[in-house]
């Protein structure tokens, strides 16, 4: 029976004793071993009562087993919902409840904290650790290493990835099998990946970049990944000579540039460096080339669409641009108010259409209608322009969004929490330049008259409620927030006032 995603990414490797995951401790997981583990997991997921179309939420550390959960979901026809390991239980509870997940996998160390979350959502809780421990892995160990793959159609849902919204409520982007597969096929060819490639994988596997872009391409071509639990400059430098390619957020590149061990010799054997998820400074692009002789290939994508544009493999990889629309992807720049298409050279809203574009937001038909036009164009929220040579430039964001080290942070979510605190009248959350994370979160707060709330007290109130990467790296107090004649807070003025907050 056919299951396009499982067959193309996983089923094709049946019986292959070839290396798939090269681990930092020197161990290797072969394709065949990986598939056997995925099949055991699919058996266990099914035994726990999940049926095709049900959701499985997982907040587990990056490991071969964590990746096998993705494969198991594909094989059992279950919708995979990976969650950022930095999320606190109160953040996680929304995702588990909203998605109606039937099974929730968490790390054994978080079981006590997450048991009430699972219970409130009516989800079964099982644990999965990064070293093969946990109740889910233990029960799965006695399941057979084969599983009858469930039939699926290209339009069936494969994954939900939650993306925060400008109103503060996260939206579950529904991605189909065809969304994921079509994009991986295009990228594999565009970036010339083959079985001979070895990809250095130091990204998290709960977001589009590390999960779909990196992993799906390598599964399609059948080459191995050096599978590091996180970005650690020492480990990356140790493994780079064994790799042919690396994908990273700009922070990977700036951190490596800060390390004297990054030399031309170290990366002589590399074929391709790819950057995305956040803007790569043109300066970083140039420094990287001067130091290593490689021109980073920058591409542009998002949770709802996977990848939309890319600099060319053979042609000119231009710093400060995200290249051309990928084959099969239509991209236009429109007037943000009227939606009318603008001529090249003019700045407007970027809209995209193609087989990569998601189906809509889970149980949010109004939000879906606002952002996904009936004619199939998705309104990205990114402002850009197409230059005379056809290169797409991202020049800003129409949405109030901060991207810190490749993670999205929506100001509204933090403002709502700060405004709830005693002694706070109002607040504005802005993103300001940061040497390591590109942008960092800064809170500008107005106290109630007479209140003495301190930055420490506010910071403490947020910890435990918000993932650390969302917590302001600095909190400043002001008498009042700048507003325009309509009463709207002028964040552009605040961004200017605090642009040097993290410099030097
Ligand atoms: C960690 N911290 C962050 C942070 N990551 N703060 C702000 N922004 C971040 N991104 C916090 C830590 O909790 C810690 O806080 C302090 O900062 C320093 O931590 P660190 O040890 O230096 O961080 P590290 O673990 O090295 O992580 C940094 C990073 C990581 C950049 C390697 O954030 C990362 O892997 N980012 C990749 C994100 C990603 O995959 N994005 C793709 C989205 S998909 P404290 O206070 O405890 O010291 C997408 C679509 C597309 O966007 O186009 O690809
Ligand atoms: P996410 O919602 O996490 O998928 O983040 C997607 C957003 O990241 C996009 O809408 C862009 O704002 C941003 N992004 C991704 N790649 C790039 C890039 N190469 N340059 C600038 N912004 C990018």
Q: Give the tens place of pLDDT for each residue, 372-387.
A: 999 999 999 999 999 9
Whether ligand 2 lies within 6 angstroms of the CB of 322 is answered as yes
Q: How far is the CA of 469 from the centre of ligand 1 (A)?
A: 6
Ligand 2 proximity of 380 Cβ (cutoff 6 Å): yes
Q: Over 80: is that where the pLDDT of 166 sits?
A: no
Q: How far is Cα 337 from Cα 85, in angstroms, rounded to an integer?
A: 38
pLDDT over 90, % of the chain: 96
Closest CA relative to residue 34, chosen from 15, 50, 7: 15
Residues 188, 221: contact at Cβ < 8 Å?
yes
The ligand 1 atom at the shortest distance from the C-alpha of residue 440 is: 7
Strand-by-strand arrangement of the 424-434 sheet: 424-434, 438-447, 474-478
Nearest CA to ligand 2 atom 21: 279
The Cα 321–Cα 154 span in angstroms is 32
Of the listed ranges 162-171, 389-398, 438-447, the least confidently predicted one is: 162-171
* pLDDT, tens only, 456-490: 999 999 998 999 999 999 999 999 999 998 888 99
Q: Are 22 and 227 in contact (CB under 8 A)?
A: yes
Q: CA torsion sign, 270 to 208 to 205 to 194?
A: negative
Tell me the backbone φ, ψ of residue 172, rounded to 5 degrees: -85, 110
Q: Please state the three-class secondary structure of 389-455 as a single string.
A: CCCEEEEEECCCCEEECCEEECHHHHHHHHHCCCCEEEEEEEEEEECCCEEEEEEEEEECCCCCCCH
| Burial letters 184-220, b for 16+ CB under 10 A, else e | bbbbbebbebeeebbbbbbbbbbbbbbbbbbbbbbbb
Spatial distance between the Cα atoms of 254 and 279, rounded to a whole number of angstroms: 12
Residues 64-84 have pLDDT tens digits of 999 999 999 999 999 999 999
Q: What is d(CA 246, CA 409) in angstroms, rounded to the nearest whole number?
A: 25
Q: How far is the CA of 253 from the centre of ligand 1 (A)?
A: 13
Question: In degrees to the nearest 10, what's the CA dihedral of 34, 40, 45, 46?
Answer: 130
| Structural contact between residues 297 and 288, judged by C-beta atoms closer than 8 angstroms | no
Pocket test for ligand 1, best of 230, 469, 471 (most atoms within 8 A of CB): 469
Residue bearing the CA closest to ligand 1, atom 27: 231
The pLDDT tens digits of the residues spanning 19-46 come to 999 999 999 999 999 999 999 999 999 9
Query: Of 220, 401, 229, nearest to 303 (Cα)?
Result: 401
Average pLDDT rounded to a whole number, residues 146-168: 91
Judged against a pLDDT cut of 80, whether residue 168 lies above it is answered with no
Q: Classify 235 in phi/psi space as left (phi over 0), alpha (psi -120 to 50) or beta.
A: alpha
C-alpha 234/C-alpha 85 separation (Å) is: 22
Q: Please indicate whether residue 67, judged by its CB atom, sits closer than 6 Å to ligand 2.
A: no
End-to-end CA distance of the chain: 60
B/e letters for 322-358, b = 16+ CB within 10 Å, e = fewer, are bbbbbeebebbbbeeeeeeebeeeeebbbbbbbbbbb
d(CA 444, CA 415): 10
Give the burial class of 183: count Cβ atoms within 10 A of its Cβ; 0-12 exposed, 13-18 middle, 19 or more buried.
buried
Ligand 1 test: best mutation among 162, 200, 249, 440, most atoms within 8 Å of CB? 249
> Which among 119, 181, 125, 132 is positioned nearest to 154, based on CA atoms?
181
Q: Over the stretch 317-369, which tens digit does the pLDDT of each residue have?
A: 999 999 999 999 999 999 999 999 999 999 999 999 999 999 999 999 999 99
Residues 6+ apart with CB under 8 A from 99: 55, 57, 81, 160, 172, 362
SS (H, E, C) 75-117: HHCCEEEECCCCCCHHHHHHHHHHHCCCEEEECHHHHHHHHHH
Output the six-digit token pair for 241. 């000579």
Q: Which atom of ligand 2 is nearest to the CA of 407?
A: 3
Tens of pLDDT, residue by residue over 250-298, are: 999 999 999 999 999 999 999 999 999 999 999 999 999 999 999 999 9
Angle at 254 between CA 253 and CA 259, to 5 degrees: 95
The residue count for the chain = 504
**Section 91-96 average pLDDT:** 96
Q: What is the pLDDT of residues 80-91, one digit of tens each?
A: 999 999 999 999
Tell me the percentage of the chain whose pLDDT exceeds 70.
Answer: 99
- Mean pLDDT to the nearest integer, 123-134: 97
Question: pLDDT-based confidence at 400, cuts 50/70/90?
Answer: confident
Res 140 pLDDT > 80: yes
pTM given for the model: 0.96
Determine the pLDDT at residue 504: 73
Alpha carbon distance 38, 404 (integer Å): 33
Q: Is residue 407 predicted with pLDDT exceeding 90? A: yes
Ligand 1 lined by 204 (C-beta under 6 Å): yes
Indicate whether residue 306 lines ligand 2 (CB < 6 A): no
């Amino acid at each position: 029976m056919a299951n396009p995603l499982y067959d193309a990414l996983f089923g094709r490797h049946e019986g292959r004793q070839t290396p798939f995951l090269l681990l930092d401790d020197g161990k290797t997981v072969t394709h065949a071993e990986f598939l056997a583990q995925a099949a055991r997991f699919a058996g266990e997921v099914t035994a726990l009562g999940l049926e095709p179309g049900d959701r499985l939420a997982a907040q587990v550390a990056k490991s071969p087993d964590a990746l096998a959960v993705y494969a198991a979901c594909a094989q059992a026809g279950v919708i995979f919902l990976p969650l950022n390991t930095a999320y606190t239980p109160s953040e996680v509870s929304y995702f588990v409840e909203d998605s109606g997940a039937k099974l929730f996998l968490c790390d054994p160390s978080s079981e006590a904290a997450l048991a009430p979350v699972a219970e409130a959502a009516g989800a079964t809780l099982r644990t999965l650790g990064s070293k093969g421990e946990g109740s889910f892995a233990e029960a799965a160990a006695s399941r057979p290493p084969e599983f009858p793959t469930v039939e699926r159609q290209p339009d069936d849902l494969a994954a939900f990835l939650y993306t925060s919204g400008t109103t503060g409520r996260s939206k579950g982007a529904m991605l189909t099998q065809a969304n994921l597969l079509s994009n991986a096929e295009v990228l594999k060819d565009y970036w010339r990946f083959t079985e001979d490639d070895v990809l250095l994988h130091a990204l998290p596997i709960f977001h589009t970049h590390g999960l779909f872009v990196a992993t799906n391409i390598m599964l399609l071509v059948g080459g191995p990944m050096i599978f590091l639990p996180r970005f650690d400059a020492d480990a990356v430098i140790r493994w780079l000579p064994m790799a042919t390619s690396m994908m990273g957020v700009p922070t990977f590149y700036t951190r490596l540039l800060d390390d004297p061990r990054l030399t031309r010799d170290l990366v002589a054997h590399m074929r391709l460096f790819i950057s995305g998820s956040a803007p790569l400074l043109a300066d970083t692009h140039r420094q990287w080339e001067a130091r290593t002789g490689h021109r980073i290939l920058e591409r542009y994508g998002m949770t709802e669409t996977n990848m939309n544009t890319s600099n060319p493999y053979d042609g000119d990889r231009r710093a400060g641009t995200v290249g051309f629309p990928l084959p099969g992807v239509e991209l236009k720049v429109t007037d943000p108010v009227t939606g009318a298409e603008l001529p090249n050279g003019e700045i407007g809203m970027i809209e995209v259409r193609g087989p990569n574009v998601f189906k809509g937001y889970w149980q949010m038909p109004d939000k879906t209608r606002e952002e996904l036009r009936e004619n199939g164009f998705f309104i990205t929220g990114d402002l850009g322009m197409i230059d005379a040579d056809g290169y797409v430039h991202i020049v800003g964001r129409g949405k109030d969004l901060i991207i810190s080290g490749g993670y999205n942070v929506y100001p509204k979510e933090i403002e709502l929490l700060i405004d709830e605190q005693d002694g706070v009248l109002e607040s504005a959350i802005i993103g300001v330049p940061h040497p390591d994370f590109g942008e960092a979160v800064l809170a500008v707060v107005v106290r109630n008259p007479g209140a003495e709330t301190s930055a420490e007290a506010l910071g403490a109130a947020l910890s435990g409620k918000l993932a650390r990467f969302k917590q302001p790296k600095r909190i400043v107090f002001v008498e009042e927030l700048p507003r325009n004649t309509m009463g709207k807070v002028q964040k552009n003025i605040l961004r200017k006032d605090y642009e040097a907050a993290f410099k030097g």
